[in-house]
């Protein structure tokens, strides 16, 4: 299977596979400045919490290259400002803030500009590599939760495209598939931007996994009919109590799965866990432009005069989540304790 490469670092630019054009076109944006990365993040050319973290880290590396100074404190102060800007490009996915702060911390310890450059580049590349490793580890751990034969439902795209490669929720499905589990996948199309129809379906078809596409509204009904053995999704931010922000529609799926006794799994690296937030109520929910709902390919669908609400994410209370798959172990309720254990470095 050809590997999907959503982000590629060349040493002085970040090559971003433009996810708004997939699957019809495989176009690459070459970002040479932090602002170009920020624009690609806002425009969702790169999306998915772990991928946003990696892109944010490289935005910091590009920021260092963009300013010609030998004044270390001046550079550090500039990077602090840039970290804020990058983190605010999309407020819900905590990986973005986590990654830029990690790169910033590495820069703050620098003794010279040469040292700072090396530290920042190394940290960004490390974040990138760690994410791929975390995905593969989540895949190996999570695969054990999937049935030997059955149908898995997923929402939005938590695949190779949403990460540095391999995928979180799709990584688990892929790892199980590679262990010869007889799986079928139901991909919810995921309005408004159709990441399920465009990205998840595309990744799964390339892997050769039998995939069925449905509109988001059909998902609950298929769960009710007994056609889904488990649901697995990614996450944009997990609070200390296990409440999980993910793509809009996830909450509803979790409620229906709970009602019908179908296991509901979240696959998220520890970089997505935000121990500074006690519950999901503290997670900021990004509201995106109304045109994503009212227009299609530049053409107006809805009548003039109608208002729009376009929250990009919702929060699924921990009580609906059967388990959270991290690269450090599978966490089960009570999540406060289990998440604390994995975040403190031990296994769950």
* Cα 178–chain centre separation: 22
* Cα 129–chain centre separation: 16
Residue from the set 85, 252, 279, 341 that interacts with its own copies by CB under 8 A: 252
* Cα 204–chain centre separation: 17
At closest approach, how far in Å is the CB of 295 from its own copies?
10
Cβ proximity to its own copies, 120 vs 277, nearer residue:
277
Strand bridging mode 313-316 / 230-233: unpaired
305 near its own copies, rule: CB under 8 A: yes
Strand arrangement of the beta sheet that strand 244-247 belongs to: 273-274, 237-239, 244-247, 313-316
Cβ proximity to its own copies, 108 vs 218, nearer residue:
218
251 near its own copies, rule: CB under 8 A: yes
44 near its own copies, rule: CB under 8 A: no
Q: Which of residues 45-104 bind its own copies (CB under 8 A)?
A: none
Residue from the set 282, 293, 332, 336 that interacts with its own copies by CB under 8 A: 293
Q: 243 an active-site residue?
A: no
21 near its own copies, rule: CB under 8 A: no
At closest approach, how far in Å is the CB of 256 from its own copies?
5
What distances in angstroms separate CA 3 from CA 20, 116, 154, 277, one per listed residue? Answer: 19, 32, 20, 35
Residue from the set 300, 319, 334, 337 that interacts with its own copies by CB under 8 A: 300
- List all residues 6 or more positions away from 134 whose beta carbon is below 8 Å from its beta carbon: 50, 269, 270, 271, 327
Cβ proximity to its own copies, 119 vs 237, nearer residue:
237
* Cα 120–chain centre separation: 23
Torsion of CA 40, 43, 48, 51, to 10 degrees: 0
Instruction: Provide the β-strand partners of residue 149.
Output: 182
1 near its own copies, rule: CB under 8 A: no
Of 236, 243, 274, 314, catalytic = 236
At closest approach, how far in Å is the CB of 310 from its own copies?
7
At closest approach, how far in Å is the CB of 277 from its own copies?
17
248 near its own copies, rule: CB under 8 A: yes
Burial of 191 (0-12, 13-18, 19+ CB in 10 A): middle
At closest approach, how far in Å is the CB of 321 from its own copies?
15
- 289, 295 in Cβ contact below 8 A? no
- List all residues 6 or more positions away from 153 whose beta carbon is below 8 Å from its beta carbon: 185, 186, 187, 188, 219, 222, 223, 228, 230, 231, 232, 253
Cβ proximity to its own copies, 223 vs 331, nearer residue:
223
111 near its own copies, rule: CB under 8 A: no
Piece of the chain touching its own copies by CB under 8 A; list 29-37, 95-103, 196-204, 229-237: 196-204
Cβ proximity to its own copies, 172 vs 207, nearer residue:
207
183 near its own copies, rule: CB under 8 A: no
Residue 163 half-sphere exposure toward CB, CA atoms < 13 A = 31
- 220, 154 in Cβ contact below 8 A? no
At closest approach, how far in Å is the CB of 91 from its own copies?
16
Question: Strand locations in 155-208, DSSP E?
Answer: 182-188
Piece of the chain touching its own copies by CB under 8 A; list 74-82, 134-142, 306-314, 328-336: 306-314
27 near its own copies, rule: CB under 8 A: no
What distances in angstroms separate CA 192 from CA 217, 254, 294, 297, one per listed residue? Answer: 13, 19, 9, 12
- Enzyme catalytic residues: 236
Residues near its own copies (CB under 8 A) are 23-24, 186-192, 194, 197-198, 201-202, 204-205, 210-222, 224, 247-249, 251-252, 255-256, 259, 293-294, 296-297, 299-311, 314-315
């Amino acid at each position: 299977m050809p590997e999907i490469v959503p982000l590629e670092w060349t040493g002085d630019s970040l090559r971003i596979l433009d996810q708004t054009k997939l699957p019809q076109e495989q176009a690459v944006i070459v970002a040479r400045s932090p602002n170009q990365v920020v624009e690609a993040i806002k425009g969702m050319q790169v999306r998915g919490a772990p991928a946003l973290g990696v892109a944010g880290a490289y935005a910091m590396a590009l920021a260092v290259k963009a300013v010609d100074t030998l004044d270390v404190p001046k550079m550090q102060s500039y990077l602090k400002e840039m970290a804020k800007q990058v983190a605010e490009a999309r407020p819900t996915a905590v990986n973005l803030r986590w990654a830029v702060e990690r790169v910033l911390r590495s820069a703050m310890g620098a003794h010279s500009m040469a040292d700072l450059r090396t530290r920042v580049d190394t940290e960004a590349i490390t974040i990138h590599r760690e994410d791929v490793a975390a995905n593969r580890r989540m895949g190996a751990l999570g695969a054990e939760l999937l049935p030997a034969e059955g149908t898995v439902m997923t929402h939005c795209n938590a695949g190779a495209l949403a990460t540095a490669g391999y995928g979180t929720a799709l990584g688990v499905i892929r790892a199980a598939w590679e262990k010869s589990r007889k799986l079928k996948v139901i991909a919810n199309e995921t309005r408004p931007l159709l990441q399920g129809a465009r990205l998840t379906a595309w990744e799964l078809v390339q892997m050769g996994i039998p995939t069925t596409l449905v509109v988001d509204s059909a998902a609950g009904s298929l769960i009710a009919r007994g056609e889904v053995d488990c649901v697995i999704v990614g996450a944009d931010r997990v609070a200390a109590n296990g409440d999980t922000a993910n793509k809009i529609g996830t909450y509803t799926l979790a409620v229906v799965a709970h009602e019908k006794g179908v296991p509901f799994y979240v696959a998220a690296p520890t970089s997505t866990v935000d121990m500074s937030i006690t519950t999901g109520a503290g997670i900021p929910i990004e509201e995106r432009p109304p045109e994503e709902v009212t227009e299609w390919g530049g053409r107006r669908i809805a009548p003039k005069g109608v208002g729009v609400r376009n929250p990009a994410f919702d929060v699924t209370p921990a009580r609906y989540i059967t388990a959270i798959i991290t690269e450090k172990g599978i966490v089960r309720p009570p999540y406060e304790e289990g998440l604390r254990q994995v975040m403190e470095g031990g296994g769950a």
